[in-house]
Amino acid sequence: MNREQALAIVKLQLTEHRYTHTLGVVETAIKLAEQFGGDPSKAELAAIFHDYAKFRDKEEMKRVVQEKLEDKSFLEYGDELLHAPCGAYFVKQEVGIDDQEILQAIYYHTTGRPQMTLLEKIVFLADYIEPGRKFKGVEEVRQLAKTSIDDAIVQALENTINFLMKRRQRVYPDTLATYNDLVNRKRRSDVS
């Protein structure tokens, strides 16, 4: 599937604002892949489809989590997280993409996970720092991304966790585990 075909498919699923966001994620993901030695074509495709389910019916997504996905814990953390794992499911079922690496990057683009692959890191970070994003802390993460994908992700996670905690919202366990995993890896590499 080429870029134009993929964008045409995803455009039908998104608002104009979210489509513009997606284009920003795509360009950022390609740059990050080139910068950090990832596969630009896989980064491009995963980025195009990362928000495929963003505007799907919430009840439909809850049914998919309940009936089709192994991890049911998404149901306990609000509707905002559902589009990532459900998006991976719908992209496989409806679009026919079966590349596990691409599907995993879509699945974990909002929460992260311990021992993320490079592609997962690229899509996660591209979604956070794409040029259209404007919020407190994003510029610091963009600067960190110029030299270290892991340091940038740690800062993005710290920002997200602090944001949720200030609002007394629950933090998805994989998000905390991702933060701990990357901080521990950094400590170990600093020691050696």
pLDDT in tens, 51-94: 999 999 999 999 999 999 999 999 999 899 999 999 999 999 99
What is the rounded average pLDDT of the residues 92-110? Answer: 98
81 SS3 class:
helix
Tokens 């998104």 sit on residue: 14
Q: Among residues of the chain, what percentage have pLDDT more than 70?
A: 100
Look at residue 46 and tell me whether its pLDDT is greater than 90: yes
Q: What is the pLDDT of residues 122-147, one digit of tens each?
A: 999 999 999 999 999 999 999 999 99
Is 16's pLDDT higher than 90? yes
pLDDT for 190 equals 84
Looking at residue 122, its pLDDT comes to 98
What's the whole-number mean pLDDT along residues 96-117?
Answer: 98
Where does the pLDDT of residue 192 fall: very low under 50, low under 70, confident under 90, or very high at 90 and above? confident
Q: Which CATH superfamily is domain 3-191 in?
A: Hypothetical protein af1432 (1.10.3210.10)
